[in-house]
C-alpha cells in the first residue's frame, strides 16, 4: 500500500501534476475501482436502472456537499445542514398542506434554509462564535423547530405535484404494449440528478470565475491577509453559510419530494456525509483548498459505496465502518501528497 | 529639500492619535506627518507602538482618538479598503499573502480585474502581474504556483508589487527587507529611491539602522507609545537614535550635528 502510494506519487511528479490534480485523479481512480469491483460482485449493479438509482441517491449528498465545500474552503464547517434540510422540508410541507401551490412553497422552504445559513454566518462573524459551535447550535435549533412545528409527526398526502421534483425524470420513454400494460423503455434522467448538475456547474463557476469565489478561497487561506487586502471577510463568510443553508433547503425539497412525505426526522447525520464528500474530494478543513468537481467525485464515492454494498447484501452497520475507513484514507492520501 | 516649507501640503498628518487595548495604552497622543517624496523612518522597540500607529493609518485598526488628514482633508479610515481608496498602500511584515492562491490572485486580491460580464479576468491579471513582477525581479517565473511554494524573496516581491501596482501616494513599509538577501535588499532600496523621486511619501518601519540612515530623510522614534523625537536624519547620529529607542531620550550632551556622519 505504502509502496503503491510512493509509486503513484513518483508518477504524479513525473507527469508534473499539481497536488490538487493528483488528489482528484486518485479519487477518480478510486471511484472507477469501486465501480469495477461492484460490477463484478453483482450483475445488477451495472444496469441503467441502478445507475439512475445511484444518481438519485447521490443528488442529496451532492447538493449538501456543494454548500459544505464552500463553507469548508472559508475555513469553517456547517454541522446544521441535516437539520436545516428537515426544517425547510417541514415549512414547505406545512405550506402545501395549508393550500399554497408547490412551487412558491418550495421557494419559501429554500429561503428558510438560506435564512438559517445567514443566522449561522451572523453568529460566526458578528458574535465571534467558532463555526463548529455556532452550527452545532443551529443543528439543534432547526431540528427542534421542525419537530415542534409538526409535533414530530410526518406530513403526508401532499398531492402529486409535490412529488414531481423528486420522482420525475427527463426523457422518460414509455411504450404501451399490446396487452395494455406500459413498458418503460428508458426510465429517464431523474430531475434531482439534473438539478445537481446545474447547481454543481453554477457553484464551480461562482468559485472559479467570480470575485466572491476568489474571496472565499482567500478568506480560508489567510483570513487576516484577506482582510488587510480589502476583502470584506464577514460578508464573504455570510454568503458562504447562506448558500450552504439554501442548498440544504434545496436538498430538503428533493428528499421530501421523493418520499412525497415530509419527515421532521429526516436528514439526521447527513452533515457528516456532506463533510465526508468534501474531504474525500480534496477539501481541507484548514481552509483555502477544495473544489466542486472533487466534492462531486467524493459524493459519488459515498453514493456508490452505499449502493454497491447494499446490493452485495452488506449490512448498514458494516457500511458505516467502510465509509469511515474511506474518509480516513482519503485524508491520509491528502497529507501524503502535501508532504511530497 | 525644504520639505517643511509651509506652502507644501503634507500628504498625511496624523494628529494626537490614541490607541488603547483595555488598560494598555499602545499609542499615546502621537502626531506624525509625511510630505511628498519623503521617506520617514519609524523606529522603536518591539511594542513601542510603531506597528500600531502604522496599522491605524492603513485601516487595519481603529484609533480611539485623534485625527488623520490626508492631503489636507480630514479622513475617516475605517477599513483597509478606505485606506487604499486614499492611495495608502501597506507592505506588511507578515506580507499578508493568501498562501493557496497564485501570484496574480494575490496581487489583485480585493481589487480583482473583471471582464464586461463581471467575471474574473484572469488572463489580464496574469499579464499585468507578469509585467510588474518582472520589473522588480527579472527572473520571476512560476506565476501559476500557489505562493506558499515560492521563496521568501519572491513572496516579498509579490507583496511589494501589490502595493505599487495601484495608484499609490503613501506607502507604508513594515520591515520590507527582513526576509531578503543582499541583492534583493539593494533592489528594495533602489525601488524606494525611485518611488521617492516620483513624489510618493514613504513610512519605513525598520530595525536596520543602516537602511534607515541610507534611505530616510527624517526619523520618528517611538518609545512606550509616545513619539519621543522627530529629527531630520542629518541632525542625528546612530547613537542618538539608539538612545532614543532604548531610553526614550537623547544623550545628555546632545546638540544638532549637521552632516556629522555616523561612525
How far is the alpha carbon of A63 from chain B, nearest alpha carbon, in Å? 24
| CATH code at position B18 | 3.40.50.300
Please check the confidence at residue B259 and state whether its pLDDT lies above 60. Answer: no
Please give the pLDDT value at position A14. 47
Handedness of CA A19, A21, A27, A30 (dihedral sign): negative
Look at A217 and B120 and tell me if their CB atoms are within 8 Å.
no
HSE-up of residue B40 (Cα within 13 Å, Cβ side): 26
DSSP strand pairing (B226-232 vs B12-21) = unpaired
CA neighbor of A110 nearest in space, from A127, A123, A99, A95? A95
What phi-psi label fits residue B236: left (phi over 0), alpha (psi between -120 and 50 degrees) or beta? beta
Q: Nearest 5°: phi and psi at B12?
A: -135, 135
Residue A262 is assigned to a structural domain of this protein: yes
Q: Residue A6: inside a domain, yes or no?
A: no
Quick check: A90 and A143 in contact, CB under 8 A?
no
pLDDT (average), residues A133-154:
96
Q: What is the CA radius of gyration of chain B?
A: 19
Tell me, what CATH number does A69's domain have? 1.10.3470
Residue B132 in domain: no
Determine, yes or no, domain membership for A210. yes
DSSP A76: -
Residue A160 makes CB contacts below 8 A (sequence gap 6+) with none
Q: At what angle do helices A48-73 and A233-259 cross, to 10 degrees?
A: 160
Mean of pLDDT values over A144-153 = 95
Show the cell assigned to B82.
478606505
Chain B residues whose CB is inside 8 A of the A213 CB are 120
Find the CB nearest B80 among A208, A221, A230: A230
Mean residue pLDDT across chain B: 86
Distance from CA of A31 to the nearest CA of B (A): 27
In a domain, B146, yes or no: no
Residue A197 domain boundaries: 19-32+50-170+185-338
Q: Do A210 and B109 touch (CB under 8 A)?
A: no
Mean pLDDT of A293-317: 91
Band of residue B48 on the pLDDT scale cut at 50, 70, 90:
confident
pLDDT at B34 over 90: yes
A231–B110 C-beta distance less than 8 A: yes
Considering CB atoms only, which of B80, B99, B119 is closest to A228?
B80
> Which residue on chain B is closest to A221 by alpha carbon?
B98
CB within 8 Å: B112 and A211: yes
Nearest CA to A281 among A216, A326, A215? A326
Shortest Cα distance from B59 to chain A (angstroms)?
Answer: 8
Please state, in angstroms and rounded to a whole number, the distance separating the CA atoms of residues B128 and B132: 6
pLDDT beyond 50 at A142:
yes
Residue A34: CA atoms inside 13 Å, Cβ hemisphere, count? 21
- B152 domain-assigned: no
Q: Which chain A residues are Cβ-neighbours of B101 within 8 angstroms?
A: 214, 217-218, 221
How many pairs of residues across A and B have Cβ atoms under 8 Å apart?
Answer: 74
Of A1-5, A25-29, A252-256, B259-263, which gets the smallest average pLDDT? B259-263
Q: Which of A209, A213, A230 sits opposite B111 (nearest CB)?
A: A230
Nearest CA among B176, B221, B219, B182 for reference residue B195: B176
Set of cell numbers at residue A131 = 463555526
pLDDT band at A270 (very low <50, low <70, confident <90, very high): very high
DSSP letter assigned to residue A303: H
Closest CA to A239 of A128, A114, A83: A114
Q: How far is A233 from chain B (nearest CA, A)?
A: 10
* Chain A residues with CB-CB distance to B111 below 8 A: 230
Q: Name the percent of chain A lying above pLDDT 70.
A: 93
Do B109 and A231 make contact, defined as CB atoms within 8 angstroms?
A: yes
pLDDT over threshold 80, residue B257 = no
Looking at residue B44, the DSSP 8-state letter turns out to be: E
- CA distance linking residue A264 with residue A50, whole number of Å: 28
Tell me the per-residue pLDDT of A89-103, one tens digit each, with 9 for 90 and over. Answer: 999 999 999 999 999
Asked if A222 and B99 come within 8 Å (Cβ–Cβ), the reply is yes
Residue A4's pLDDT band (boundaries 50, 70, 90)?
low
Q: Characterize the bridge pairing of strands B24-34 and B201-205.
A: unpaired
- Percent composition of chain A: helix, strand, coil (DSSP 3-state, to 5): 75, 5, 20
For residue B188, the 8-state DSSP code is H
Q: What is the pLDDT of residue A183?
A: 80
Q: Is there a domain that residue A293 lies in? A: yes
Q: How far is the C-alpha of B61 from the C-alpha of B53, rounded, in Å? A: 9
Sign of the Cα torsion B243, B249, B254, B255 reads positive
Q: For Cα atoms A196, A202, A206, give the angle at the middle one, nearest 5 degrees.
A: 140
The total number of structural domains that make up chain A? 1
Q: What Å distances lie between residue B128 and B92, B111, B113, B122, B133, CA to CA? A: 22, 13, 10, 10, 8
Smallest Cα distance from A299 to chain B, Å: 24
- CA nearest to B154, candidates B173, B122, B179, B186: B179
The mean pLDDT of chain A is 89
Question: CB of A204 within 8 A of CB of A293?
Answer: yes
Contact A245, A115 (CB under 8 A): yes
ipTM of this complex: 0.86
Sorted by sequence, the CB contacts under 8 Å of residue B152 that are 6+ apart come out as: B179, B180
Query: Cβ distance B40 to B203 under 8 Å?
Result: yes
Does B150 fall in a domain? no
- Residues B144, A185: Cα–Cα separation, whole Å: 49
Residue B109 to residue A218, Cβ atoms within 8 A: yes
Could you give the percent of chain B with pLDDT greater than 90?
Answer: 41
Considering only CB atoms, which chain B residues are within 8 Å of A339? none
Sheet holding B39-44, edge to edge: B88-91, B170-174, B201-205, B39-44, B218-223, B226-232
The answer to whether the CB atoms of B97 and A224 lie below 8 A apart is no
Distance in angstroms (rounded) separating the CA atoms of residues B242 and B79: 34
Look at residue B66 and tell me if it is in a domain.
yes
Residue B148 lies in a domain: no
CB contact under 8 A, A222 and B105: no
At residue B155, what are phi and psi to the nearest 5 degrees? -65, -40
Closest CA to A23 of A4, A38, A8: A8
DSSP labels, B28-60: EEEEEEE-TT-EEEEEE-TTSSHHHHHHHHTTS
Give a yes or no: residue B111 inside a domain: no
Q: How far is B235 from chain A (nearest CA, A)?
A: 36
Say if residue A42's pLDDT is above 90: no
Contact predicate A328/A110, CB 8 Å: no
What count of Cα atoms within 13 Å lies in the side-chain half-sphere of residue A326?
Answer: 29
Q: Report the residue of A208, A228, A232 to disrupt the B interface, i.e. the one with the largest count of B CBs within 10 Å.
A: A228
DSSP β-bridge partners for residue A183: A175
Residue B78 inside a domain? The answer is yes
- Tell me how far apart the alpha carbons of residues B97 and B99 are, in angstroms, rounded to a whole number: 6
pLDDT of residue B47: 80
Summarize pLDDT for B85-133 with one digit per residue, the tens.
999 999 998 889 999 999 999 999 999 999 999 999 999 999 999 998 8
Question: Among partner residues A222, A227, A289, which is closest to B80 by beta-carbon distance?
Answer: A227
Is A252 within the bounds of a domain? yes
Chain A environment of B78 (Cβ under 8 Å) = none
**Poorest-pLDDT segment among B31-35, B64-68, B129-133, B246-250:** B246-250
**B120 touching chain A per CB within 8 A:** yes
Q: Is pLDDT above 70 for B2?
A: no
Residue to substitute from A74, A223, A225, A338, interface B, most B β-carbons within 10 A: A225
Q: What angle do CA A255, A258, A260 make, to 5 degrees?
A: 105
Residues of B in contact with A21 (CB under 8 A): none
Choose between A234 and A50: higher pLDDT. A234
pLDDT digits (tens, 9 = 90+) for A184-241: 777 788 899 999 999 999 999 999 999 999 999 999 999 999 999 989 999 999 999 9
Calpha distance A319→A324 (Å, rounded): 8
Tell me what the mean pLDDT of segment A138-154 comes to. Answer: 95
CA-based torsion, A287, A330, A36, A166: positive or negative: negative
Report for A82-91, A305-314, B4-13: range of highest mean pLDDT: A82-91
Contact of B100 with chain A, judged by CB distance below 8 Å, is answered with: yes
Entry pTM: 0.88
Domain count, chain B: 1
Amino acid at each position: 500500500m505504502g509502496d503503491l502510494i510512493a509509486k503513484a506519487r513518483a508518477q504524479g511528479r513525473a507527469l508534473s501534476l499539481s497536488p490538487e490534480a493528483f488528489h482528484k485523479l486518485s479519487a477518480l481512480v478510486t471511484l472507477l475501482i469501486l465501480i469495477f469491483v461492484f460490477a463484478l460482485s453483482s450483475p445488477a449493479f451495472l444496469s441503467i436502472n441502478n445507475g439512475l438509482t445511484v444518481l438519485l441517491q447521490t443528488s442529496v449528498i451532492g447538493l449538501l456537499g456543494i454548500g459544505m465545500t464552500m463553507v469548508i474552503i472559508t475555513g469553517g464547517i456547517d454541522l446544521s445542514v441535516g437539520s436545516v434540510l428537515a426544517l425547510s422540508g417541514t415549512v414547505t410541507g406545512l405550506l402545501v398542506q395549508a393550500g399554497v401551490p408547490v412551487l412558491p412553497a418550495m421557494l419559501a422552504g429554500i429561503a428558510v434554509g438560506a435564512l438559517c445559513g445567514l443566522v449561522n454566518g451572523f453568529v460566526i462573524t458578528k458574535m465571534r462564535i467558532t463555526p463548529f459551535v455556532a452550527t452545532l447550535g443551529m443543528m439543534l435549533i432547526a431540528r427542534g423547530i421542525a419537530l415542534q412545528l409538526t409535533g414530530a409527526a410526518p406530513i403526508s398526502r401532499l398531492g402529486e405535484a409535490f412529488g414531481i421534483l423528486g420522482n420525475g425524470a427527463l426523457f422518460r420513454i414509455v411504450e404501451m404494449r399490446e396487452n395494455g400494460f406500459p413498458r418503460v423503455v428508458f426510465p429517464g434522467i431523474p430531475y434531482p440528478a439534473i438539478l445537481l448538475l446545474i447547481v454543481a456547474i453554477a457553484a464551480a463557476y461562482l468559485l472559479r470565475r467570480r470575485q466572491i469565489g476568489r474571496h472565499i478561497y482567500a478568506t480560508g487561506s489567510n483570513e487576516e491577509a484577506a482582510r488587510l487586502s480589502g476583502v470584506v471577510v464577514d460578508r464573504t463568510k455570510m454568503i458562504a453559510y447562506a448558500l450552504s443553508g439554501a442548498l440544504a433547503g434545496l436538498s430538503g425539497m428533493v428528499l421530501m419530494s421523493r418520499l412525497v412525505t415530509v419527515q421532521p426526522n429526516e436528514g439526521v447525520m447527513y452533515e457528516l456525509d456532506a463533510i465526508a464528500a468534501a474531504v474525500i474530494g480534496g477539501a481541507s478543513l484548514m481552509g483555502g483548498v477544495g473544489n466542486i468537481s472533487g466534492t462531486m467525485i467524493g459524493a459519488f464515492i459515498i453514493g456508490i459505496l452505499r449502493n454497491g454494498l447494499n446490493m452485495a447484501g452488506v449490512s448498514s452497520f458494516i457500511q458505516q465502518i467502510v465509509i469511515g475507513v474511506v474518509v480516513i484514507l482519503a485524508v491520509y492520501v491528502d497529507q501524503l501528497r502535501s508532504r511530497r | 529639500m525644504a520639505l517643511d516649507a509651509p506652502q507644501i501640503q503634507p500628504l498625511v498628518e496624523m494628529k494626537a492619535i490614541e490607541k488603547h487595548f483595555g488598560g494598555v495604552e499602545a499609542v499615546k497622543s502621537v502626531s506624525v506627518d509625511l510630505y511628498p517624496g519623503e521617506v520617514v523612518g519609524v523606529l522603536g522597540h518591539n511594542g513601542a507602538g510603531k506597528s500600531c500607529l502604522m496599522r491605524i493609518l492603513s485601516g487595519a485598526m481603529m484609533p480611539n482618538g485623534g485625527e488623520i488628514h490626508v492631503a489636507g482633508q480630514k479622513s475617516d479610515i475605517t477599513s483597509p479598503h478606505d485606506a487604499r481608496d486614499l492611495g495608502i498602500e501597506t507592505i506588511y511584515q507578515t506580507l499578508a499573502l493568501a498562501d493557496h492562491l497564485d501570484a496574480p490572485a494575490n496581487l489583485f486580491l480585493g481589487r480583482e480585474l473583471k471582464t464586461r460580464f463581471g467575471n474574473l479576468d484572469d488572463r489580464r491579471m496574469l499579464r499585468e502581474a507578469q509585467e510588474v513582477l518582472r520589473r522588480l525581479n527579472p527572473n520571476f517565473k512560476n506565476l501559476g504556483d500557489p505562493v506558499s511554494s515560492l521563496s521568501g524573496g519572491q513572496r516579498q516581491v509579490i507583496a511589494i508589487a501589490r502595493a505599487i501596482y495601484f495608484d499609490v501616494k503613501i506607502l507604508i513599509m513594515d520591515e520590507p527587507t527582513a526576509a531578503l538577501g543582499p541583492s534583493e535588499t539593494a533592489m528594495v532600496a533602489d525601488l524606494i529611491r525611485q518611488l521617492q523621486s516620483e513624489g510618493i511619501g514613504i513610512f519605513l518601519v525598520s530595525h536596520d539602522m543602516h537602511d534607515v540612515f541610507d534611505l530616510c530623510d527624517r526619523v520618528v522614534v517611538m518609545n512606550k507609545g509616545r513619539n519621543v523625537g522627530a529629527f531630520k536624519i542629518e541632525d542625528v547620529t546612530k547613537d542618538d537614535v539608539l538612545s532614543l529607542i532604548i531610553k526614550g531620550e537623547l544623550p545628555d550632551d546632545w546638540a544638532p550635528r549637521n552632516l556629522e556622519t555616523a561612525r
